[in-house]
């Protein structure tokens, strides 16, 4: 393995920012791409480019201009059919172009898991119009969950408790979709003990590795806090690992996958999969010997990963905006950092909107619950000042 390499990052949010930092520690050159200027990862990358990644021709021109060793998607809003074409031309897409094409749309990955691989999932159906959604919602039953097939960070997701709420859920899902799809998925509401993300690391020439599972709590379909250890049983973990390995093996390639599960008393139920670092995995910045961004990089570059260890129980709690603004500053960071074993990461986003994630507070402690309490307290002390 010769370093440095040139990496093109498609999508430049907070997860991409941490990945760029990890990549540059090995001297690599990173081109950060997004649809708007000064996105978080662009602030630390070597080169930044602004295009719509749904414009396949613009994407191809950019790739051929920079000729990266690796193309690393970070978001869903990419013309993934163009990535398939670029891979055929000899470019390396992480984890693979086919995997990216599958997982950018919930319908494809769900059909792969449930239909082709026989993995246990929640009961589900699709709809491409309000009328279809009303019909399949009755078939699934209430409550159910409606989501765009293409979105991120919980955008467009809602719980539907009654038939009167279907129309509102349709509008919300279409407005929250990424890309140009108006297809939604409706799935049964699963009564679970905890939701987890099982970060699964595929290597080019090595065994599949797993991080200790990360528990998380969501609101509006977006995570509010995450913590390790997740507190699930060995039997539940073994089942989740077997499913994660089966699904990621079918997708192939190398890199980290965020595989989400509902953990019930009796089983692990596959929910979703992202072929890249996961937002709930921000906790690994303080809880593990190698965080998820370092693991993603090592897997991509083919560098050794001798062990993945939980060095301390840890937690992450989000810092959210509550309104639209063109500029924001922060107060209370000093108060948040006053307690030992806390950290704050502000992402550098220039504008705000309601519920936009602007940062996280991180904490370690003797137990996961103590870490959660500290992280939540620290996050509450950071105050956004809008201009």
Q: In the chain, which ranges are continuous DSSP H helix? A: 14-24, 56-66, 80-88, 97-103, 106-110, 130-140, 166-176, 234-251, 284-287, 292-301, 333-336, 368-381
Give me the catalytic one of 178, 298, 356, 357: 357
Give me the catalytic one of 18, 49, 195, 279: 279
Give me the catalytic one of 11, 154, 258, 314: 154
Identify which of 217, 211, 196 has the alpha carbon closest to the alpha carbon of residue 318.
Answer: 217
Give me the catalytic one of 260, 281, 298, 332: 260
Confirm if 201 and 295 have CB atoms less than 8 A apart: yes
Beta-bridge partners for 32? 9, 48
Which tokens is 19 given?
A: 């990945």
User: Is the CA virtual torsion 263, 148, 292, 63 positive or negative?
Assistant: positive
260 is catalytic: yes
Confirm if 197 and 177 have CB atoms less than 8 A apart: no
67 is catalytic: no
152 is catalytic: yes
Identify which of 1, 15, 57 has the alpha carbon closest to the alpha carbon of residue 345.
Answer: 15
137 is catalytic: no
357 is catalytic: yes
Give me the catalytic one of 152, 197, 200, 316: 152
Which tokens is 271 given?
A: 């929910």
Beta-bridge partners for 228? 314
Which tokens is 325 given?
A: 């603004």
266 is catalytic: no
Give me the catalytic one of 272, 335, 343, 373: 272
3-state secondary structure 106-162: HHHHHHHHHHHCCCCECCEEEECCHHHHHHHHHHHCCCEEEEECCCCCCCCCEEECC
- Spatial neighbors of 1 by CB under 8 A, at least 6 apart, are 301, 302, 303
49 is catalytic: no
**Would you list the DSSP string of 202-224?**
E-TTS--EEPPPEEEEEETTEEE
Give me the catalytic one of 96, 121, 197, 280: 280
Confirm if 174 and 140 have CB atoms less than 8 A apart: no
Looking at the annotation, which residues are catalytic? 152, 154, 260, 272, 279-280, 357
């Amino acid at each position: 393995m010769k370093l440095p390499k040139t990496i093109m990052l498609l999508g430049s949010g907070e997860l991409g920012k941490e990945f760029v930092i990890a990549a540059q520690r090995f001297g690599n050159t990173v081109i950060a791409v997004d649809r708007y200027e000064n996105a978080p990862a662009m602030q630390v990358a070597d080169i930044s480019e602004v295009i719509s990644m749904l414009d396949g021709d613009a994407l191809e021109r950019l790739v051929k201009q920079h000729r990266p060793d690796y193309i690393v998607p970070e978001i869903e809003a990419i013309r993934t059919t163009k990535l398939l074409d670029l891979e055929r031309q000899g470019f390396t897409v992480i984890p693979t172009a086919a995997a990216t094409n599958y997982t950018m749309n919930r319908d494809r990955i769900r059909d792969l898991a449930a239909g082709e691989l026989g993995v246990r999932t929640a009961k589900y159906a699709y709809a491409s119009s309000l009328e279809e959604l009303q019909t399949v919602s009755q078939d699934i039953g209430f409550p159910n969950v409606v989501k765009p097939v293409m979105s991120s960070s919980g955008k467009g997701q809602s719980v539907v408790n009654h038939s009167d709420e279907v129309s509102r859920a349709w509008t919300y899902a279409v407005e929250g979709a990424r890309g140009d799809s108006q297809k939604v998925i409706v799935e049964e509401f699963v009564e679970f003990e905890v939701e987890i993300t099982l970060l699964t690391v595929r290597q080019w020439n090595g065994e599949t590795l797993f991080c200790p599972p990360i528990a998380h709590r969501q609101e509006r379909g977006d995570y509010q806090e995450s913590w390790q250890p997740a507190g699930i049983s060995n039997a539940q973990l073994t089942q989740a690992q077997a499913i994660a390995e089966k699904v990621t093996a079918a997708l192939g390639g190398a890199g980290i996958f965020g595989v989400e599960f509902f953990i019930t008393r009796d089983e692990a139920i596959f929910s979703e999969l992202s072929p890249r670092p996961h937002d709930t995995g921000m906790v690994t910045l303080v809880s593990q010997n190698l965080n998820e961004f370092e693991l993603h990089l090592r897997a991509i570059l083919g560098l050794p990963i001798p062990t993945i260890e939980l060095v301390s129980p840890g937690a992450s709690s989000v810092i959210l905006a509550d309104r639209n603004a063109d500029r924001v500053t922060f107060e209370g960071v000093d108060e948040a950092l006053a307690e030992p074993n806390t950290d704050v990461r502000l992402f550098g986003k220039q504008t705000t909107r309601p519920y936009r994630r602007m940062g996280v507070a991180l904490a370690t402690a003797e137990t996961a619950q103590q870490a959660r309490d500290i992280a939540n307290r620290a996050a509450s002390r950071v105050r956004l000042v809008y201009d």
